[in-house]
A and B are shown apart, each in its own frame.
Chain A
Amino acid sequence: MKTSTIMKTLNKLYKDLSAGLILMLVLLAGVITSCDFGVTNPGRIQEDDLNTVKGMEALVTGMSADFSYIYDDLSFTGARLSDELAGSGSYYLTSLLRQGMVNPEDVGFYWEGVQQARFVAEDGIKRMKKVLGDDFEGNPLAVRAYLYAGFSNRMIAENFNRDVIDKGPARPASETFQRAIGHFENAIQQAQAADESEFLTAARGGLAQVYVGLGQWSDAVQYSSQVPTDFTYYAVYSNNSGRESNEYRYETHNRYEASAFNTLAASRSPHDPRVPITDCSATPEECSAEVAADGQTIMLRQEKFPELGSDIPIVKGTEMRLIEAEAALLNNDLVTAMNKINEVRNYHGLQDTTASGIGEIGGSDRSDAWDILDQERHLTLWLEGRRLHDLRRWDHYFLDGGTIVYPGVTRRASYFPISESECAANDQVECERPYTE
């Protein structure tokens, strides 16, 4: 290109740009300077904003909320996996549960829920100590926080065969029971300092439960004996919001996804007030259908949790009596055991029952004390998320091919496995497939 051509071009460029330069610069400057990318969106709470004294109440309520949020779902699924309810709907998991199968890829929601419930409580305690300082000690909020830390650990230990803490290796459930003991003992200490008798009793009941899990029966009885028969501590539910509602109500009253058909509870209803059931085939006017969502199973609708706001017991004095009964049976003390069992029955307005002997669970004689205890725990704690643990620790005959709805299974799972989501993100944990424990 010739020099003159270049100069001519440059001159023209200068002339042209002078005409548009101002607009160009103004617009570009306008566009760039108006780019305020620091957008703050409302609605979510940022991490540091939680660190205020006034925020501690919501933090502890969050512990209760997260515990309740997962407890009903876990209980409902456990009920279908165990002999409490028959899965009778269209959920994919239902077909597996009917066969006694539950796999790591199917339990993500439950594993994540229980882990979150524990994290919220345990991490919340650390945050409360930091924010409240000396005001933490003897604070009723601290009592509740320790309680939920204890109950969330109990929930994990009773329902999962192994546990993981903070992306660590898998640990046996016994270590989780031990972890719960520490929290309940702290709850007792704080409750005594705060003079919170209800929380104090709940913590003692929680300790009794975890000592059962550890097989430390004398410790269990030491704490159960401090819980009156009429005491109940609940996981709280409400029709205030969907998150707070009790899943049992929705799944059994709206969707008919589970029926008590062919269960012990059905055989005792309507004579046993612990297992209230509506037989939709007998009273169709009270139901939207006579059969469940699968179109086949007769709908025997649970009425223990008839409302979205029905609370689920997590500590009951009646369970404490049955713990004492079991401890007595382990000591071959039939009289004490039956007295404790009948104390529970009488509390519910039922007559005494008698046993043919101590016997064993699942033996040829189903009227012995162990089988009666099995049935009484089943009925007393029905749909409260405790049955799987009983099946497991008793190596219950139902696990060898329960005949509920779906026959022919050789060994049913009695605990939930660690979820696939944990195994995928945690190098120290391997999932068990197939899962048959």
Chain B
Amino acid sequence: MVFFAVGASFGQGTISGSVLTEGSGEPIAGANIIIQGTTIGASTNATGEYIIRGVPAGKHVIEARFIGFEVVQKNIQVVSGETLTIDFELSESSLEMEEVVVTGTGGQARRKEIGNSIEQIGQQEIEEATLTDFGDVLQGRTAGATIMDNSGQVGAASTIRLRGGNSFSQGNQPLIYIDGVRVSNRAYSSDPEVNQAAAPFDDLNPNDIARVEVIKGAAATTIYGTEASGGVIQIFTKRGSEGKARWNVSVEQGFNNLPKLGPEGDPTGLGLWDCEGIDPSCPESGTYHQNGHLQRYNLSVRGGGQELSYYISGKLSSEDGVFGPQGTEGYGIRANFGFQPNSNLTFKFNTAYNYRKTQWIPDGNNAEGFILNTLRGDAGYPPNNANSLVFDMDLHTRTNHFTSGLTAEWVPTENMLHQVTIGIDYSEQDYTEQRPFGFFYDPLGDRENDQFKLVNRTIDYTGTYDMVLGEKFTSSTSWGGQLYDENIIGLNGYGAEFGGPGDKLVDSGARTEAFETREREVSGGFFAQERIGYNDRLFITGGVRVDGHSTFGDDFGLAVYPKISGSFIISDYDFWPEWWNTLKLRSAYGESGRAPSTFAALRTWESVSGDEGEPAVTPQNLGNPDLGPERTGEFEAGFESSFLDDRIYAEFTYYRQLTKDALVPVQPAPSTGFVNSQLENVGELENKGIEAQLDVNVIQDGPVQWSVGGQYSTNKSEALDLGDVDRIYVSWRQELRTGYPVPSYFHDIVTNPDAVGVDPEFEDQYIGPSYPTHTYGINTSITIKDRFKVDILGEGQGGHVLSSGTAYQNVRRGQWPTCTAIQEQIEAGNTSNLTAKQLALCDPNETTYGMWTRAADFFKIRSVSVSYQFPNSWLPGNVRNASIKLQGKNLWTFTDYPGLDPEAFEDGARDFVDYRQEYYNIPPLRTFIMRLNVGF
């Protein structure tokens, strides 16, 4: 139950004061000030000040609380007719039961009131992380979040999964909100030549993030309705505060590199590391690998007056890749304003623009792929093994991303809040792919240009009304509605066969083609929620969400999603031992869903051409008017607890998700004539696991502080029902099969591995799940005299397998060093002493993808950060603070995976598919950064 600032009211006394951040002394706008046991309260304005009138005379307990900060309580004595000044200083906290969160709660709620788990990542954690994209903010820090880096092409997006996957077909990306505005969770469009893509949400400047809230499943995401079963990530950017302008500037210099690439026993990296003498186009340095320079510059200013506050920032960045011309550069600006015309009304306006240009190199599974051709040696596509010829191909993207939102908060009475957010997220990409005239693979050359736009509009209204029901009960009623409008526009032009060399356009080609895509989806709904509190210790929340969606079939109607949750702060009872500071028990059940894809409900035909350019039609989509969303119901239960003066914090959650009416791509019998898969609500899948977190402040007082923490989570998925079929092929030897994880690898595995001198025998077998079944993170932090700090984060993922297309294809070409000796024996006809397994792995005519699909468990040192805060005495007069930080990402990898990298994903651009495959793509990089930060 949270109270809101109200205008003047009459009473016996008045309290006023300010709420500041402990340490920095910066004002906190929007903090709640509450007189305990009453409905009287207020919130701070943009300058961090508040005033409460009409406070009954006498003794009270007044408390101040704000999202992400510890609650501070004070005993006060109010005298009739007088004004009492009470100031607060709040410190950041992630353990506090009174801290306020907003994601999935239907307005603001205190952590103690919430029956589901919610993760918060604060500004401090973000600043300590070594960041190359948004996924790094969550990686290793959020139990239940699996972040896979996919690619070493700088600018490429990661894969983000919360509690695994609970959809067979509709992708498992979480929804992403920035300051209440829903932004696209898709990747930009890509092309098979690049096989990787940037993502709009990676445009966000990490320096602008104040905190992140993550809710991971349907039990928490019900009020977000259809499309929210993959979880919700909400990002809050920094805001202004009263006072003179406070500037902050940071400069980062560093480099990317790769420790080594290629199989064991090959120091040359199959020509990547040492290409001299084997590749006539080898760089003068004798190696293709290079340290890619990284530089970033950030400037921000925040300040304001009583009514208007501002936070303005800008960034400039440039980052080179480790092969050829690959790299990315860009800039961005953000302006967040707060306007409070009176104490009842607040406006927040946030706007950001980002530009990025990324130069890609051909990668992954295509004939011009750099890694593919280099690692295959003479068996590659470029003539005479001159692999740098692939760099003649120009692949680049330019993206413009604009996000803007206006939030109005109106507090007509002390118990009521209305909040409206209107926002737009606009992102566009200009993709160019050009093979020049004379290019080895296409001598006349060609050019492709793809204009891709994502336009998302959000309208979100939430109302909240809080009441005190007698002495023990409280009520918080929420209601609201959302409207979301997503537009995808794509225009693709292709021109081939140029008349000569030089810069080209699509229409420079003698042969041209054009394609256009326009898809719009509209979704909306409303929710109502009631939370009853008893004695501020027990909270029961119930609610319902009703949704419509433009992709539902005509005969479907609306979707209804219920939720119920409870939390019990057992540690608030007097009998509870003092050393055991807090124990919150919680449990929740909720449902949310995912909508079918745009055209799935309609029976359609496609316009094509035939007979040399004449108009023609061909069957496209079978259609199903009864099509509706898949529904995921999630039960979760757990506890949050702290001990020994909050030195130890522990959190545990068990969850089980059951997706019913799961959308399954059912292929009609081809003999019926329609061959494309049709989504049907016929599936069922289960997804369950645990999440555990333990943080220990080993030393928390004195000149040295040392903390150790870790998180561990599991995820086990199982396809329970696929409708009329028991298996569906996904891609790259991965399938959905009843009774197996979603998805899983199946392929030919040798069945007589130890037999000597005989041919290997194979059988199609289950090999393992495509996604990790467990992830864990370990971190430790040492601070000396509040100035010197070392922060280390390691992360492991495991339980899954990954197919190394690289190893398989190179073995077939006699180019895999671990097989060289065996292949020499095979060539000599001397196989009598070889086992069937050796032949199954290394005989070019016997080996299978299945034999090279192997356990992909790994542990990586994700981030190491060493920082030093300069003493104020060292600084010039105008400088408030200054620090220097050395950071490293992916410094070490521990794995037995035999391919390029257990995180590498050749199809990283495919955001709405769920499979993985390593196939000649640049694996995630190692990054070193030095950061100098100055505040003045």
Contacts and interface: CB of A to CB of B under 8 A. Distances in A.
Interface of A: 1-2, 5, 9, 12-13, 15-17, 19-20, 23-24, 27-28, 31-32, 34-39, 41-47, 50, 55, 57-59, 61-62, 64-66, 68-69, 90, 92, 95, 99, 105, 108, 111-113, 115-116, 118-120, 123, 164-168, 236, 238-244, 254-256, 288-289, 291, 293-296, 309, 406, 419-422, 424-426
B931 interface: no
A367 to B, nearest CB: 34
B822 interface: no
7 closest cross-chain pairs (CB), A and B: A295-B379, A119-B673, A65-B610, A31-B481, A112-B675, A19-B412, A61-B616
Contacts of B729: 105, 108, 420
Interface in B811-828: 812-813
B524 A47 contact: no
Given A236-B611, A254-B441, A421 B670 contact: yes
Contacts of B260: none
In this complex, the member of B549, B615, B667, B670 whose beta carbon has the largest number of chain A beta carbons within 10 angstroms is B670
B420 A27 contact: yes
A292 to B, nearest CB: 9
B649 to A, nearest CB: 37
A236 B610 contact: yes
Contact of A28 (B511, B526, B672): B526
Contact of A50 (B442, B617, B724, B813): B617
B349 interface: no
Contact of A16 (B465, B520, B604, B673): B465
Contact of A43 (B377, B383, B516): B516
Most buried by B among A20, A115, A165, A426: A20
15 contacts: A24-B463, A32-B526, A34-B459, A58-B614, A61-B610, A90-B812, A99-B845, A108-B670, A112-B675, A113-B675, A165-B671, A288-B383, A406-B845, A419-B670, A425-B666
Given A65-B608, A123-B673, A240 B613 contact: yes
A286 to B, nearest CB: 10
A296 B380 CA distance: 10
A45 B599 CA distance: 11
Q: What band does the interface of chain B fall in when counting residues whose beta carbon is under 8 Å from A?
A: 35 or more
B673 A115 contact: yes
B610 A64 contact: yes
B385 to A, nearest CB: 10
B413 A19 contact: yes
B727 interface: yes
A50 B607 CA distance: 11
Nearest to A121: B673
A64 B611 contact: yes
B376 to A, nearest CB: 7
Given A1-B469, A166-B671, A419-B670, 6 more contacts: A23-B418, A24-B463, A28-B526, A116-B619, A119-B673, A421-B675
Given A58-B617, A243-B608, A295-B813, A31 B673 contact: no
Nearest to A89: B367
Contacts of B469: 1, 5, 9
Chain B contact residues, majority secondary structure: strand
A202 B11 CA distance: 100
Interface of B: 367, 376-381, 383, 410, 412-413, 415-416, 418, 420, 440-443, 459, 461, 463, 465, 467-470, 473, 479-483, 496, 511, 513, 516-526, 548-550, 552, 598-599, 602-621, 623, 666-675, 724-725, 727-729, 809, 812-813, 845, 849
Contacts of B598: 41
Given A12-B467, A62-B616, A116 B461 contact: no
A13 B724 contact: no
Contact of A39 (B496, B522, B619): B522
Contact of A27 (B378, B473, B481, B727): B481
A95 B615 CA distance: 38
B710 to A, nearest CB: 42
A62 B618 contact: yes
B441 to A, nearest CB: 7
Contact of B609 (A15, A38, A244): A244
Contacts of B669: 164, 167, 421-422, 425-426
Contact of A58 (B613, B616, B666, B674): B616
A16 B813 contact: no
A293 B381 contact: yes
B271 to A, nearest CB: 13
Contact of A46 (B413, B482, B604, B666): B604
Residue from the set B442, B519, B606, B675 with the largest chain A CB neighbour count within 10 Å = B675
Given A9-B467, A24-B463, A116 B605 contact: no
Contact of A424 (B415, B513, B725): B725
Contacts of B675: 112-113, 115-116, 421
